[in-house]
Copies of this chain bind each other. A is one copy, B any other.
Amino acid sequence: MNQSNILENRFPGRRAALKREILEQALYCFNELGLEATTIDAIKARCDTSVGAIYHHFGNKEGILSALFFAAQDDQRHRLEQELAGANSLREAVYSIIWSYLDWVVDNPEWARFLYQARSPVAKGPFQEELTNRNIQNYRKLKERLISFGNDDIKIIQPFEMLFSLIIGPSENYCRAWLSGRVKTSPQEYRKEFAESVWRSLQS
């Protein structure tokens, strides 16, 4: 049972019920068994439907993968934009990015886990271009938002392409470790420390 409503937001209505069900069970299978080890048959069995229905909705296995991936990514980005909208300085913006990221992962661990492992396959599959476009788009928007605050209150010495890695890198690495069980403490416990550390790292 998924407490979040990522699927309901993206595929609303009664008629999409089976579509959502397939995606939900596929998400479970992918996370539990791994991408390659998950068979259409396994998904079919878990939601008690037919191969015909699955292929009707998604075309092929990659279609399921991509649908899940983009749903998750959009939800994550949506959260980011909400948080970022309230920021009134570069410092607040950096904090927003980090906190919204950590919060989202903690709120949607299964989706986050999937997002990490599905990126490479999606990046190579038939949705390659769509993914690239989205990334460029998101990247540009974020850049403009950050630049909008100006550099006055603090000198940001790093080039921009590096800046993004400095901001999100530590949180991302920790979340991966947490989702894989390598570390036990919830990322949320370190919210403050992550944001402050990053902010320190940005001072010239």
Mask, A109-143, CB within 8 Å of B = 1, is 00000001100110111000000000100010000
- Is residue A159 contacting chain B, with contact meaning CB distance below 8 A? yes
Contact A158 B197 (CB under 8 A): yes
Chain B nearest CB, measured from A106 CB (Å): 15
Complex interface residues of chain A between 152 and 204 (CB less than 8 A to chain B): 157-159, 161-162, 164-166, 168-174, 177, 180, 182-185, 190, 193-194, 197-198, 200-203
Contact B124 A34 (CB under 8 A): yes
A165: which of B174, B200, B201 is its contact (CB, 8 Å)? Answer: B174
A166: which of B33, B161, B170 is its contact (CB, 8 Å)? Answer: B170
- Counted per complex, copies of this chain come to 2
- Is residue A37 contacting chain B, with contact meaning CB distance below 8 A? yes
Chain B nearest CB, measured from A155 CB (Å): 13
A123: which of B168, B180, B184 is its contact (CB, 8 Å)? Answer: B180
Chain B nearest CB, measured from A141 CB (Å): 15
Say which size band chain A's interface belongs to: 35 or more
**The 5 residue pairs across chains A and B that have the minimum distance between CB atoms:** A201-B201, A169-B169, A169-B173, A169-B170, A117-B120
Besides the known contacts A36-B36, A37-B125, 18 further A-B residue pairs in the complex with CB atoms under 8 A apart: A34-B125, A35-B35, A35-B36, A123-B180, A135-B182, A157-B193, A158-B190, A159-B190, A161-B177, A161-B185, A162-B193, A165-B171, A165-B173, A166-B197, A169-B170, A169-B171, A200-B200, A200-B201
Sampled A-B contacts (25; CB under 8 Å):
A33-B124, A34-B124, A35-B120, A36-B121, A116-B120, A117-B120, A135-B182, A158-B193, A158-B197, A159-B185, A159-B190, A162-B170, A162-B190, A162-B193, A162-B194, A165-B170, A165-B173, A165-B174, A166-B170, A166-B194, A166-B197, A168-B173, A169-B172, A200-B200, A201-B201
